[in-house]
Amino acid sequence: MSTQMQLAREGKITDVMRQVAAEEQIEAEVLRDRVARGTVAIPANIHHTNLKARGVGEGLRIKVNANIGTSSTYPDIEPELEKLDEAVRCGADAVMDLSTGSNIDVSRQKIIEHSPIMVGTVPLYQATVRAIREHGAVVEMTEEDILQTIEKQAKDGADFMTLHCGVTREAIERMRRQGRIMDIVSRGGSFIAGWMLHNERENPLYEHYDDILDICEKYDVTISLGDGMRPGCTADATDRGQLTELITLGELVDRAWRRGVQVMVEGPGHVPYDQIEANMKLEKRICRNAPFYVLGPLVTDVAPGYDHITAAIGGTLAAVSGADFLCYVTPAEHLALPTIEDVHTGVITSRIAAHAADLVRGIPGAREWDRRMAEARKQLDWEAQLSLAIDPELAETKRGARNKKGEEACSMCGDYCAVKIISKYFDKPVCPCDD
């Protein structure tokens, strides 16, 4: 079985490529060339049979991911399936199953079976849970535990996997010598760093990268190279640990492409606004324009409860500057497991950031959407305005709560609606003799 990248390099346009090209309103041959070069990835595991594939990368619409999954505190999978449905309904392009509850295999299998959009996983989460249950501690995890987990999740149909292959001993030591406030905030990064420091060994994900490529090639799993050294506060952004990991990830991109395995690169979490553009350009340069997947970035640390907004501020600039895939941040970030309402808010907020960037990047259909809304507002066509809204239900609720049914203007302006007033003058036919 060949990967999408391998087939693209052979000059073949697959059904998956045609599907993505049609959605993106671009020529299939253009897409094939980008997949062949690696600047576009199409995460589409051969065992995810009900998937409507999406492309991520050069010249494509910015994609949005929603994180879901069970925890040891909330192990029931049914609420997570409801969150999946809500994420799909709100327009998410992917979900990541971050389950750490009591039956991770069942959770993942149900999510993949239920999901028409891309599903990502973090195998290290399951491998560490398994190590604790079977060996009594994370640091007793074996290479076999990790590789078996990756193989199992690939066989189940995971479309992309976050793998923290770039957390090397060199990166950790450089981070420690420079000093950080938050050290390592990536859960997967902390697991593997703790294992490395305890066992005084190199990262097994790095050492067994060729074995991982074997698995991903077999099932056409897209590797999402995790940013285990990402900054957890703005003061730690763009430091030596983060950049050392990024250089390693660039080398791992090359190795994956040589095998015909699709790859994305994950980017930083907390970054001051004035450093975001530089971070995006560094990634694109070092990783040869591989698709870039970012969490946020969050532009300040002081807004718990509003971090969907801090992430949208950073995400917009990140996407304008080169990022291709935004992982949503919900109002519950840093506080709690998100509710279904948090999922709704997180997806919509990230989609707003993504669309704002699509406008700047000239993505087909983006400006047309805004223009249709402007024309509907000019005509005071409320039915069209509500249908064009990125969150039609919320818009309709707000409209209905403070306006009489059938009211032409809105209760903000009432009789003094600027659009209505000026239309009396601007919409008059112009006399030819006025020229």
The answer to whether the annotation marks 367 as part of a ligand binding site is: no
The answer to whether the annotation marks 273 as part of a ligand binding site is: no
Task: Judge if the upstream peptide bond of residue 297 is cis by omega within 30 degrees of 0.
Answer: yes
The answer to whether the annotation marks 327 as part of a ligand binding site is: no
The answer to whether the annotation marks 351 as part of a ligand binding site is: no
The answer to whether the annotation marks 417 as part of a ligand binding site is: yes
Contacts 24+ apart (CB under 8 A), 279-285: 279/237, 279/238, 279/318, 280/318, 280/321, 280/322, 280/323, 281/321, 281/322, 282/243, 282/246, 283/246, 283/322, 284/322
The answer to whether the annotation marks 266 as part of a ligand binding site is: yes
Let me know if 73 is exposed, middle or buried by CB neighbors in 10 A (0-12, 13-18, 19+): exposed
Encoded tokens for 258: 């040589």
The answer to whether the annotation marks 5 as part of a ligand binding site is: no
Could you give the count of Cα atoms lying within 13 Å of 405 in the half-sphere of its Cβ? 0
In sequence order, what are the residues at sequence separation of 6 or more whose Cβ sits closer than 8 angstroms to the Cβ of residue 392?
A: 386
The answer to whether the annotation marks 164 as part of a ligand binding site is: yes
The answer to whether the annotation marks 173 as part of a ligand binding site is: no
Strands 40-41 and 56-57: antiparallel
The answer to whether the annotation marks 67 as part of a ligand binding site is: yes
Report CA torsion sign: 77, 79, 81, 84.
negative
The answer to whether the annotation marks 187 as part of a ligand binding site is: yes
The answer to whether the annotation marks 165 as part of a ligand binding site is: no
What value does the CA radius of gyration of the chain take, rounded to a whole number of Å?
23
What's the first-to-final CA gap in the chain, in angstroms?
Answer: 69
The answer to whether the annotation marks 245 as part of a ligand binding site is: no
The answer to whether the annotation marks 308 as part of a ligand binding site is: no
Annotated binding site for substrate: 67, 96, 125, 164, 186-188, 227-230, 266, 293
Annotated binding site for Zn(2+): 270, 334
Annotated binding site for [4Fe-4S] cluster: 410, 413, 417
Annotated binding site: 67, 96, 125, 164, 186-188, 227-230, 266, 270, 293, 334, 410, 413, 417
